[in-house]
Amino acid sequence: MRQLQLPAFQFTEEQMAFRQEVRAYLEQEKLDGAFETHSDSWLSGYSAEFSQKLGKKGWVGITFPKEYGGQARSSIDRYIITEELLAIGAPVASHWFADRQSGPLILKFGTEQQKEFFIPKIVRGECFFSIGLSEPNSGSDLASLKTTATKVDGGWVVNGMKTWTSGAHHSHYMITLCRTAPQDVNNRHGGMSQLIIDLKSEGVTVRPIQFLTGEHHFNEVFLESVFVPDDRLIGQEGNGWAQGLTELSFERSGPERILSTFPLLNEAMKLLKVKGDQRGLIDVAKLVSRMWSLRNMSMGIAAMLEEGKDVNLAAALVKDLGNSFEQSVAEVIRLLLPTMPSKQEADHYSRLLAESILHGPGFTLRGGTTEILRGIVAKGVVSA
């Protein structure tokens, strides 16, 4: 059996100072009324204005090359920003996918023209992306997807449907995995390509799917004879599957797979301290120690990504463990501080509790289900 070795990671003094700078800025923004703290804000807290503010600070696409407006800073600096944004529950959903995966994907596989067109806008917090993978009958088994792109003069005509598409009602573009050649039984993962679809194009209809809380954050996206010009194909035709896999490493290993319910944990800690509830604080301390070990693992992966290493297996493991941690935060805390959870309630704690409970079921579905992640881990260990 192979052992998973994640490098231990220690922040430098400079990095610690950067964290303090980010934290102080966010606390001041919150005090000034720019946002309220929410659980799971990376997927459902939309504020184009706030994304632009972060863009002005240089904190969107911070790792992107300077020639496209980025700062070429390390993925550890990006890790610090994302952790602080998640911890304070800031509204970052608008730019999250562009910063985390669409930008890096374009930088890795895109043409020079695509880089020059998209990356500076992403960095300014003005260009938002959605991920168009899932379809009504293709989720875990994504290779069975039915959306087609047919070659025509000057581009492609896309027909099909995507579902559960987070943020498609706010985003400008959707990176869409579609079939550009018929499925080959001997190569299930071939014949797929990634197209950047402008969500304002003729033939695109975005319909809301209501969340358990009544919020609108994901959608059905219907694509009816949508024309996509040739220059919106990313990378190589037919290589969409392999390209998409590189995105998954960015998607699965970040602190958002651990910290979606951190605002609730933080609020509960404050309330238990005020009550002087020592027993309750011990239970919270157990959660914090779990969080700390997951964080060390996730930072180890960030360090591996910095070195260009393959983190597919490690990211699947951290996502699985992180998601069950995020869910258990709400389970433990609602017993320690019982109340009627309600999104409508003015009481901050009751609102955070409602968000954490009602968003919880999605944690173990989005970005790969528990069963799929465990399959990756099991196969990785056995085949080593």
Ligand X SMILES: Cc1cc2nc3c(=O)[nH]c(=O)nc-3n(C[C@H](O)[C@H](O)[C@H](O)COP(=O)(O)OP(=O)(O)OC[C@H]3O[C@@H](n4cnc5c(N)ncnc54)[C@H](O)[C@@H]3O)c2cc1C
255 binds ligand X (CB under 6 A): no
109 near ligand X, judged by CB under 6 A: no
What's the closest the beta carbon of residue 372 comes to ligand X, in angstroms? 6
CA distance readout (Å), 156 to 178, 230, 279, 354 = 11, 7, 62, 44
Does 296 contact ligand X by CB under 6 A? no
102 lies in the site for ligand X, by CB under 6 A: no
* Smaller CB separation from ligand X, 90 or 133: 133
Q: Which residues pair with 254 in a beta bridge?
A: none
Q: CA–CA separation, 148 vs 160, rounded Å?
A: 6
**DSSP state, residue 137:** T
257 is a contact residue toward ligand X (CB under 6 A) = no
Q: Is 249 in the site for ligand X (CB under 6 A)?
A: no
Q: What is the DSSP string of 170-217?
A: T-SEEEEEEESS--BTTBTT-SEEEEEEETTSTTEEEEEEE-TTS-EE
Exactly one of 131, 145, 192, 317 binds ligand X (CB under 6 A); that residue is: 131
- Residue from the set 134, 323, 350, 356 that interacts with ligand X by CB under 6 A: 134
Residue identified by tokens 């027909």 is: 159
**Whose Cβ is closer to ligand X: residue 166's or residue 327's?**
166
Provide the minimum distance between the beta carbon of 12 and ligand X in the complex, in angstroms, as a whole number: 35
DSSP-assigned beta bridge partners for residue 174: 130, 197
Q: By CB under 6 A, is residue 133 in contact with ligand X?
A: yes
User: Of these, 181, 269, 372, 377, which contacts ligand X (CB under 6 A)?
Assistant: 372
Task: Name, in order, each residue with C-beta under 8 angstroms of 213's C-beta and a sequence gap of 6 or more.
Answer: 343, 354, 355, 358, 359
Is residue 213 involved in binding ligand X (CB under 6 A)? no
Cα–Cα dist 172/243, whole Å: 21
SS3 state of residue 88: coil
Binding to ligand X by residue 377, rule CB under 6 A?
A: no
Contact flag: residue 96 with ligand X (CB under 6 A): no
Residues forming beta bridges with residue 208, ordered by sequence position: 219
> Looking at 165, 180, 261, 323, which residue binds ligand X (CB under 6 A)?
165
Looking at the Cβ atoms of 61 and 367, the one nearer to ligand X is 367
Task: Please state whether 58 falls in left (phi above 0), alpha (psi between -120 and 50) or beta.
Answer: left
Scanning 48-56, 98-106, 125-133, 227-235 for contacts with ligand X by CB under 6 A, the matching segment is: 125-133
Is 220 or 306 the residue whose CB approaches ligand X more closely? 220
Cα(83)–Cα(87) distance, integer angstroms: 6
Cα–Cα distance for residue pair 364/260, rounded to 1 Å: 12
Q: Find the binder of ligand X among 35, 64, 164, 173 (CB under 6 A).
A: 164
* Minimum CB distance to ligand X smaller for 35 or for 218: 218
Residues that contact ligand X, how many (by CB under 6 A): 18
Per DSSP, the three-state class of 222 is strand
Among 369, 377, 380, 381, interactor with ligand X by CB under 6 A: 369
Q: Which of 37, 147, 166, 243 binds ligand X (CB under 6 A)?
A: 166
How many CA atoms, within 13 angstroms, populate the side-chain half-sphere of residue 381?
Answer: 12
Collapse the DSSP code of 342 into the 3-class scheme (helix H, G, I; strand E, B; otherwise coil) and give the result.
coil
Stretch that binds ligand X, among 116-124, 149-157, 329-337, 370-378 (CB under 6 A): 370-378
Please, which residue, 111 or 369, has the CB nearer to ligand X?
369
Give the CB-nearest residue to ligand X: 139
Q: What residues make contact with ligand X under the rule CB under 6 A?
A: 130-134, 139-140, 164-166, 218, 362, 365-366, 369, 371-372, 375
